[in-house]
Chain A
Amino acid sequence: MTDLLNEIQEKAFLGREFLTWLLLGAMKSGPQFNIKGVGAFELQFDRTIVLEGEDTGARRVTLAGSTVSIAPEVLAALRSGKLVSRARLRFLWDDSTWDVTLNGATFDFSGVRVPVPNVPEVEELFILRLRELEKFLKFFTALFHHFLALRLDGGRWKATLKEFEELAVWENAAP
Chain B
Amino acid sequence: MPFLTGAMSFREYKVEGAYPPNYRKAFEDGLARYAFRAPQPARGETRAAGWANPRRLLDPDLTFPALLIDDYLFAALRVDRLALNPRLFKARLAERMAAKSRELGRKRLARADRDALADVLKREMLAETSPTTSVYEWVWHLEGRRVFFASAGEKLNAEFSDLFEECFNLALTPLFTYFRALDWAQAHGKTEALDVVAPSGGML
Q: Does A90 contact B (CB under 8 A)?
A: no
Q: Does B176 contact A (CB under 8 A)?
A: yes
Task: Verify B10–A109 contact, CB threshold 8 A.
Answer: yes
Task: Verify A8–B197 contact, CB threshold 8 A.
Answer: no
Task: Verify B70–A127 contact, CB threshold 8 A.
Answer: yes
| Other-chain residue from B4, B12, B178, B201 in contact with A126 (beta carbon distance below 8 A) | B4
Task: Verify A8–B9 contact, CB threshold 8 A.
Answer: no
Which residues in B have their C-beta under 8 angstroms from that of A161? 200, 203
Task: Verify A148–B184 contact, CB threshold 8 A.
Answer: yes
The answer to whether residues A127 and B4 also contact, given A12-B177, A17-B203, A106-B152 and a CB cut-off of 8 A, is: no
Q: Does B141 contact A (CB under 8 A)?
A: yes
Task: Verify A108–B141 contact, CB threshold 8 A.
Answer: no
Task: Verify B9–A20 contact, CB threshold 8 A.
Answer: no
* Cβ-closest chain A residue relative to B7: A111
Task: Verify B203–A24 contact, CB threshold 8 A.
Answer: yes
Indicate the member of B3, B175, B178, B179 with the most A CB atoms within 10 Å: B178
A106 and B153 CA atoms in complex are apart in Å by: 11
Nearest CB in chain B: distance from A61 CB, A: 14
* Cβ-closest chain A residue relative to B174: A106
Q: A89-119 vs B: 1/0 string, CB under 8 Å? A: 0000000000100011111111111100000
Task: Verify B202–A12 contact, CB threshold 8 A.
Answer: no
Nearest CB in chain A: distance from B132 CB, A: 23
Q: Does B90 contact A (CB under 8 A)?
A: no
The answer to whether residues A148 and B181 also contact, given A17-B199, A167-B204 and a CB cut-off of 8 A, is: yes
Which residues in B have their C-beta under 8 angstroms from that of A112? 7-10
A133 and B72 CA atoms in complex are apart in Å by: 13
Q: B133-177 vs A: 1/0 string, CB under 8 Å? A: 000000101001010100010000000000000000000001111
Which residues in B have their C-beta under 8 angstroms from that of A165? 204
Task: Verify B74–A14 contact, CB threshold 8 A.
Answer: no
* Cβ-closest chain A residue relative to B197: A152
A21 and B55 CA atoms in complex are apart in Å by: 41
Extra inter-chain contacts (17) besides given A21-B203, A111-B8, A134-B146, CB under 8 Å: A11-B181, A17-B199, A78-B203, A80-B202, A81-B202, A110-B152, A122-B4, A123-B69, A125-B4, A126-B69, A126-B72, A126-B74, A134-B141, A144-B184, A161-B200, A161-B203, A168-B204
Point out residues on A near B: beta carbons under 8 Å: 7-8, 10-15, 17-18, 20-21, 24, 54, 75, 78-83, 99, 103-114, 122-123, 125-127, 129-130, 133-134, 137, 141, 144-145, 148-149, 151-153, 157, 161, 164-165, 167-168
